Amino acid sequence: MRKITYKEALREALKEEMRRDPTVFLLGEDIGRYWGGAFKVTEGLSAEFGDERVRDTPISENAIIGTAVGAAITGMRPVAEIMFGDLTALAMDQIANQAAKIHYMFGGQINCPLVIRTPFGAGVNIASHHSQSLEAWFMHVPGLYVAVPSTPYDAKGLLKSAIRGGNPVFFCEHKLLYPIQGEVPEEEYTVTFGIADVKREGADVTVVATLYMVHKALKAAEMLEAEGISVEVVDPRTLTPLDKQTIIKSVKKTGRIVIVSEDCKTAGVSAEIAAVVAEEALDYLDAPIKRVAEPDTPIPFSPPLEQYVIPDEKAIIKAVKEVV
């Protein structure tokens, strides 16, 4: 099977859905013909689809999402790009109080088929305003779907499903994933929301990881295999809906769990998954639940300090050895 990058997989999904459905259009800062997006995901799309369907916007996140919500409820299928995930804070009313609630507030008479694409994550030395991982904010909002694809295959399949669905979707992409290559079929496919993927089978401990942390977990699993420790790596792929059953099934098999996420540890993604396991699989645990996450601190600009706070393979290995 051919291999393409995460960035190329996203671009393919956008291109195929725009060809399939004329109501799909893109909007965001610098996504058009002169720049192609901050991370070049939309590069070249305006040449095929024109400036009306690949729309450069002013530097106003609330205007981008407000426009997208209005377009969605009147029959269009907008895909809005926010240049950095941290800047969604400027559009939280439009996301959390309008897009997420409008179907409920109007008794199901209105749908809001909106996709918000945005990159999260640290590791490129661009400081606190452009390096956070805020996925847990959006898990907390009823009415939003939250996707966290870690591979090119999942990125393309989930994005196509998001665009075709009838719900507002918050689509998280990690900056360091864009150049990563993976196998992606040339034929048509989608990935269903709410179905986790076991990225590696194992017997001794379950490691649940998201986004870029999936790749660090897989590397840690390889290193631990050399020491005789068998690690199962589970990638939820979506946080809302969350595939609890796959996680619980894995915990029942291994009896141990380590949860790895790049967001802050307090009230983060790992906290919710830990709560699910504690409530629904406590009797199957042979050791305490362990979490590997960032400390509760703004992301430093200094490269050594930034690397210090980001979870790495050593931290995952340490946590696994503590429970095995």
Q: What is the 3-state secondary structure (H, E, C) of 76-106?
A: CEEEEECCCHHHHHHHHHHHHHHHCCHHHHC
Whole-number Å distance between alpha carbons of 147 and 164: 14
Give CB contacts under 8 A, 24+ apart, made by 185-192.
Answer: 185/1, 185/153, 186/2, 188/16, 189/156, 189/157, 189/160, 190/157, 190/158, 190/160, 190/161, 190/164, 191/149, 191/153, 191/154, 191/156, 191/157, 191/158, 191/160, 191/161, 191/237, 192/161
- The residues annotated with a catalytic role in the active site are 130
Do 33 and 44 contact (CB within 8 A), yes or no? no
Terminal CA-CA length for the chain? 37
pTM of the full structure: 0.97
* Element of type H or E holding 163: helix 152-164
Q: What CA–CA distance (Å, rounded) separates 47 from 54?
A: 9
Amino acid at 138: F
Q: What pLDDT tens digit does each residue of the chain (324 aa) get?
A: 999 999 999 999 999 999 999 999 999 999 998 999 999 999 999 999 999 999 999 999 999 999 999 999 999 999 999 999 999 999 999 999 999 999 999 999 999 999 999 999 999 999 999 999 999 999 999 999 999 999 999 999 999 999 999 999 999 999 999 999 999 999 999 999 999 999 999 999 999 999 999 999 999 999 999 999 999 999 999 999 999 999 999 999 999 999 999 999 999 999 999 999 999 999 999 999 999 999 999 999 999 999 999 999 999 999 999 999
CA 249 to chain centre: 23
CA distance 6 to 152: 4
Residues 6+ apart with CB under 8 A from 32: 42, 46, 51, 54, 55, 56
Which residue ranges form the domains of the chain, and what is each CATH number? 3-183 (3.40.50.970), 197-323 (3.40.50.920)
- Give the pLDDT score at 214: 98
Instruction: Classify 44 as helix, strand or coil.
Output: coil
What pLDDT, on the 0 to 100 scale, is given for residue 222? 98
State the pLDDT at residue 299.
97
- How many residues are recorded in the chain? 324
Distance of alpha carbon 209 from the chain centroid: 11
Among left, alpha and beta (phi > 0; psi -120 to 50; other), residue 298 is: beta
Among 155, 89, 85, 88, which Cα is nearest to 120's? 85
Tokens for 303? 């490269």
